[in-house]
Every structure is written in structure tokens, then in C-alpha cells.
Amino acid sequence: MTALAVPAILLTAAACGSEDSSSSGPLATVSGKAGEQPTIELDEDAGVTETSVEVLSEGDGAQVKQGDMLGMDVIGKTPGGDSDLVNTWMTQDGQSTTSDDPGAPPRPQLVTQAGVESALPEAITEPLIGTPVGSRVKIEGTAGDLLGDTAEAVGLDKGQALVWVFDINVAIDPTTTAEGEQAPVEEGLPEVVAEGQEPATITIPEGDAPTELREQTLIEGDGAEVLAGHTLFVQYTGVNWDGGEKFDSSWDRDGGASFQIGGGQVISGWDETLVGKHVGDRVLMVLPPDKAYGEAGNASIPGNSTLVFVVDIIGVA
């Protein structure tokens, strides 16, 4: 059971083109600089028989490592398709996600893990390993090679040609933890022991649960401020105040958790507490039912539960 409602990235099937082609690639010509929506011109007659990778512009950040959590802008296209397979530059109703307003919220990112089956298949992200953050990369191949069985699931022929253009915005090592001396917890809050890459041990104090949201920054990081609309990368552990039993921890899975903060994608106590915090913070939260899952509960969490979370903020995009 997961504590967070993290939406999956879903591929939208375009109209299927023919598996046959009268020429071989390159399938796409890409123009524009990294950080801005690329212009992609497709050769409708071109086809591909094997995967090709081209770094269109090289960034100056750290190199992507196996298993890194990636925050990226991406466009996926196929010749003859009625729409993009994926396009983080546009909303589902065709509106641009780019704004010239400096006060506009950050644009949502596609989040996946490098070389790991996650939001995107391993075959698409494995070629990104070793590429510096800030790079723009074009990957061409067949739907079968790049999507595997997912190709047919979204209505694509496995021999159909695909092109993906990625802007790699961030790469987060999911084994990262908040670093520094942890502050003593305030009176009435649970004790927290968090060591290494393991779920935090959270000890509930005697007495009734708070009826109002309580939160404390146990370790103060010096990274970027978390803004509403940011894609947030975290490691967390959650327990129920009643009995102190752990119901979820990102440490129990391969990779951390990610979600857009401040927009209702997670329970309200997370949105309320984590906006304004900083990368590198360790945050303790005690959330009464109205800031968590309310009267209904969620899966293994009973209704009217007060929940306790320890969250390490390890990155934003």
C-alpha cells in the first residue's frame, strides 16, 4: 500500500502507421535549444530497423547513473500519428505548459528511473546513462524495441518507427538522505531515528494524537526552495499514530518517490507542509485525519487515522 497518490505517466496511442517504409532513417530532424520546446520534423517515408541515439546538445551537469531518478521534458512521436505519444510541453487539452511569467509555477516533469522499468520502459532510458544533465537527446527505434509489450497495449505496431526527444533537467540519486545533525523533537511529537538507507524508526509518545497539523524540520538543508508546482523527489516513512505501525516507506522499494507538490496530487498535509521547505530538509509531520485520508481512510489505513511521516527532500525539478 502506498501513502501517496503518485500518478503514472500514460502513453497515448497515436493513429498507427504502416510497418513498411520506403527508406531508412533518420526519422526526425530536431531544431531548437535545450530548455525550449523543440521543433520536430518527421520524414513520413522513413523507417527504422534498430535503435539509434544522438546527443543533440550536451549539458554541463553530472552524468546520469543507473537507477537515477530523472526529471525530464520529453516529446514522443510516430510518423502518421494524430497526436504526440507524450509531450510535457503541452497539456492534455493542447495548451502550452510554458509561461513567460516569472511567477508562474514550475512546469510538470516526466519522472522515471534511468535503466529501470518505471514510468518509461528500460529500453528508452538506458541510453541516457552516462549523458550529462542539461543535455538534449534524440532516440529513434521501433515501438517493439523501445516499448516492448507496451507498444501493442497502447495500439502501436511493434515495427512502427518512434522518435523521442528528451531534455534531461535533473538526475537524483535515490539513495540520497538528508545530512546533518538532527534536532531534538519538540514536546509531544514522535521520536525519530533515521540512519542510512532504511525506513525511519518512529516512536509514538504517550497521550492522545494532536488534533491540529504539527510539523518540524529536523534537519535543515541548504538546497533550492520547494515551490508549488515543483516536481518533488523524496524518501519517506509513514506510520499510524494509533499503534505506531509502519504502513509505507519509499525505502522498501527500488528508488524514491516523486510527485508534483502544491497541486492536490498528494494528501493535503503534504502540500501544506512541504511547500516552502528546502532540498536537504528532513521534515517530521503529524497529520490529523482532515489533512490525511479523512473518514474514508485509504487501503490499509483505517478511517479517521492520524498519520506520522518523516520525509527527506532529496531534489526538485
- pLDDT score of 154: 82
- pLDDT score of 104: 62
- pLDDT score of 43: 87
- Decide if 69 contacts 191 (C-beta within 8 A): no
- pLDDT score of 166: 97
Instruction: Give tens-digit pLDDT for 14-67.
Output: 434 444 433 455 789 999 988 899 999 998 887 788 999 999 999 999 999 999
- pLDDT score of 21: 38
- Decide if 251 contacts 197 (C-beta within 8 A): yes
- pLDDT score of 96: 61
- pLDDT score of 1: 33
- pLDDT score of 98: 62
**Count of CB atoms within 10 A of residue 273's CB?**
24
- The terminus-to-terminus CA distance of the chain in angstroms comes to 26
- The SS3 assignment for 271 reads helix
Q: Residue 166 and residue 231: Cα distance in Å, rounded?
A: 17
The pTM score is 0.84
- pLDDT score of 8: 36
Q: How would you class 4 by CB atoms within 10 Å of its CB: exposed for 0-12, middle for 13-18, buried for 19 or more?
A: middle
- pLDDT score of 9: 37
- pLDDT score of 142: 93
Tell the residue number behind the cell numbers 497539456, with chain if given.
91
Name the strand (E) or helix (H) holding 124. helix 122-125
Q: Which three cell numbers stand for residue 78?
A: 510516430
For residue 234, the cross-strand partners are 257, 313
Q: Which three cell numbers stand for residue 137?
A: 537527446
Residue numbers in the chain where pLDDT is lower than 70: 1-25, 82, 91-105
CA-based R_g, the chain, Å? 22
For residue 280, the 8-state DSSP code is T
- pLDDT score of 84: 87
- pLDDT score of 163: 94
